[in-house]
Structure 1
């Protein structure tokens, strides 16, 4: 399967990237913010939702991917101990909330356990690219519906 390379410049594009990154896992130490470059990045192990099982019918895939956000003015987090670089997080979704001064707004990375990372942005400018090879996993993420 080809390596994924996506760009988001609006909310619809961002929804596609969010779908591709659902259930991606990463450590706190895999996040980086450059205030001077107005950039934020996360290296994560994403589940390959767009793929299928291997020929043996048992193996799903994960890939190392880089999520890059540009035009980031500020970053804040909730429920994340930034001092513990080895804490593992699971990304549930990415959402955009527009500001009164469009195209400004906030991109929120919603994590399992109630944690989140909120990025104040001038506009949506996001890239997702696979940066490593794939490896097999027997576990497909599941989200049972609650009553």
Structure 2
């Protein structure tokens, strides 16, 4: 008898995921929820049509295993890259304050009829970043080894 694969059986390699369809975006959104970064960790490269973020991502995929083992929760540095970007807009953030700490609440895809659309990143404190794109092309890639979350706690969202 063949058993179904379980999430817990996955190996502990760094994540490297790509979203190219609307169905892919909820996975990326779940994994970057509560990621933190500073304004200095954000780069808009208009000639390359790329918007990139170096984030400290909470390892949601490891939360239950950490609790079972009684070990600290973990974070990892990861690159969140949006390609095919035509224009970037933001609201509720001071782009000149490079030390400002931002926290990602959600990332969502809003398609247009022609295949183009908008990738919108919702930030804590009513901030948002919107990237108008030619098509959906978002990559999330861990770039360091996991480290103990400095707070020692999992992010919480009160009702």
Q: What TM-score, normalized by structure 2, do the two folds share? A: 0.87
- Structure 1 gaps of 5+ residues are none
What's the CA shift for 1:139? 1.1
Q: 1:100 offset after TM fit, Å?
A: 3.1
Q: Which of 43, 53, 76 in structure 1 is aligned with 2:89?
A: 76
| Matching residue of 2:132 | 120
2:117 aligns with one of 105, 110, 119 = 105
Partner of 1:37: 48
Q: Which one of 139, 143, 147 corresponds to residue 157 of structure 2?
A: 143
Q: Which 4+ stretches in 1 moved above 4 angstroms?
A: none
Q: Which of the pair is proportionally richer in strand? A: 1
Please report the TM-score for the alignment, with normalisation by the length of structure 1: 0.94
* Structure 1 CA distance for aligned equivalents of residues 118 and 43 of structure 2: 17
Q: Distance in 2 between matches of 1:45 and 1:78?
A: 22
Match 1:5 to one of 13, 16, 21:
16
Q: Distance in 1 between matches of 2:110 and 2:102?
A: 22
| Backbone CA RMSD of aligned residues | 1.2
How many residue pairs were aligned? 144
Give the greater-gyration-radius structure (CA): 2
* Equivalent residue in structure 2 for 1:85, among 74, 98, 109: 98
